[in-house]
Amino acid sequence: MDASAATGTAAVLLVGLSFRSAPVPILEKVSVADTDLPKLQLSLLDNDVISEALVLSTCNRMEFYTVANAFHSGLDHVVETIADFSGLPVEDLEPHLYVHYSDAAAEHMLNVASGLDSMVVGEQQIIGQLRTAYQQASQIGTVGRTLHDLSQRALRTGKRVHTETNIDTAGASMVSFSIDKALDHLDIDATADTPLAGRRALIIGAGAMASLSSTHLGKLGIDQVIVANRTLSRAENLVAHAQEAGVQATAVPLERMPEAMADVDIVVSATGAVGCVVLEEHVRCAHGRRNRRPLVLVDLSMPRDIDQATAELPNVHLLNIEQLTTMAGEGVEDEDPARRIVAEELDEFIEQQRAQAVVPTVKALRQKAVDLLADELLALERQTPTMSEHDREQVERSMRKLVDKLLHTPTVQAKKLSASGQAVSYPDALAALFQLPTGVIESVTEARVKRVPAQRAGNHSAALRIPNTTTVHSISDSTRGNK
């Protein structure tokens, strides 16, 4: 890693795709199986530019959060890594990517955690998905101080939004949203106390999405839930939780899925499989025994679990991510209070990061002072061989106190100056660091140094400033050309 990374100049670089920027076929190709995520995140670190990495993978987004010490080379590496893992040419991938950098990347994660960037605004499931992504990245060692702080700030922000606003009443989770749409296809009144009374459902999978589906179906009064999974023991664990909640439930192995499908009204599939789990022939086989009763298939997986051809069968309604995207609303009334919380948390995070950015410099300054003090003490020892040990200790103690007092004020002021993010000239910065009276630096400089013309002053006339936020909504030649 180059020296710039060690001096606090690294920043968060986000490259992502979501239901807003990419069609489902592209999202499917970019999505990575859970077992391959560690390899992907380690590959993001396989260079001298990226120092941290966290991948957020959900049913409708893939986001690659990294910490880069150089924007263009970092962006190139992330995009090339995505292309390598997806098998997509870079030129086919780029039009669907969005890029956020520095403060804008932090703001995006806070919006995501708050459910403000979700397909269904206000959904809470994303908080758990972000927490899981952070924990996985931490376990394999790809998260450092910056992404740790950002992830924790985002989780805190999401919790505040859902606790302090009414956004939850306007936005549901993807699970509840999709099942509500399924009720429409079954001509069931969703406002009834127990709209699914007398109905049965099949859940394929036994992970978090499957568990949420079971819980929501139970709240709607479902009579029975059948859980089918490749690993029967995991299906049995989900069944046990459903039974504890008062829902009648049974577990079956995945090969019995077509048989179970013949007796249900709703099928919810949420597996981590790479290929289709529910094929057209499975549904056709079950359909022959249903006496024309309608069947709703809800596919919550990415890549898709349910073959698109099933939608062509009579009385079969397929709801997948692509269709749900078009159905989801674009906004809710309670967004403004939520966005105010995001703005507040973002300001605090940016101030915290700017204050931390100066820490390496402060440490270097203190170490320099310690080294100089040690040199002077050695010189003093050589020059005063007759000095008593007591006197030598008194001199050393006084010199150390002097150094500590001299560095205390600039240390505190440097952190304040950095956190404020203001543009400050070198003389003003020096005056602020040592809390000198206004005008002292300028008067001393004018008295002792002949002024250099502006065109020859070079960096000495520059201002100290924190880089502004950079946001790139899509990648183009202009963003990736000049390196």
pLDDT digits (tens, 9 = 90+) for 262-276: 999 999 999 878 789
Q: Which CATH superfamily is domain 3-171+332-355+469-480 in?
A: Glutamyl-tRNA reductase, N-terminal domain (3.30.460.30)
* pLDDT for residue 468 is more than 50: no
Do the Cβ atoms of 53 and 66 come closer than 8 Å? yes
pLDDT band per the 50, 70, 90 thresholds, residue 448: very low
Give the mean pLDDT of 68-78: 95
Q: 82-89 — which CB contacts under 8 Å span 24+ positions?
A: 82/15, 82/30, 84/43, 85/30, 85/32, 85/36, 85/40, 85/43, 86/29, 86/30, 87/29, 88/26, 88/29, 88/30
pLDDT at 433: 59
Where is mean pLDDT largest: 265-274, 356-365, 450-459?
Answer: 265-274
* pLDDT for residue 469 is more than 50: no
Instruction: Tell me which of 27, 59, 130, 424 is the catalytic residue.
Output: 59
Distance CA 448, CA 445 (A): 5
Amino acid at 359: V
Do the Cβ atoms of 292 and 231 come closer than 8 Å? no
pLDDT at 288: 74
User: Residues at the annotated binding site for substrate?
Assistant: 58-61, 118, 123-125, 129
Amino acid at 7: T
User: Residues at the annotated binding site for NADP(+)?
Assistant: 205-210
pLDDT at 354: 77
pLDDT at 457: 35
pLDDT tens for each residue of 137-152 = 999 999 999 999 999 9
Domain definitions of the chain by residue range = 3-171+332-355+469-480, 174-327, 364-464
pLDDT at 2: 38
User: Residues at the annotated binding site?
Assistant: 58-61, 118, 123-125, 129, 205-210
Q: Of 323, 208, 191, 334, give the one whose Cα is nearest residue 271.
A: 208
* pLDDT for residue 416 is more than 70: no
Among this protein's residues, is 285 annotated catalytic? no
> Which range has the worst mean pLDDT, 219-223, 257-261, 456-460?
456-460
The residue with greater pLDDT, 223 or 413, is: 223
pLDDT at 481: 45
pLDDT tens for each residue of 35-65 = 899 999 999 999 999 999 999 998 889 999 9
Distance CA 261, CA 290 (A): 9
CATH number among 3.30.450.20, 3.40.50.620, 3.30.559.10, 3.40.50.720, domain 174-327: 3.40.50.720
pLDDT at 471: 55
Q: What is the percent of the chain where pLDDT is above 70? A: 79
| 477, two tokens | 């030649």
* pLDDT for residue 314 is more than 50: yes
What are the φ and ψ backbone dihedral angles of 127, each rounded to 5 degrees? -60, -45
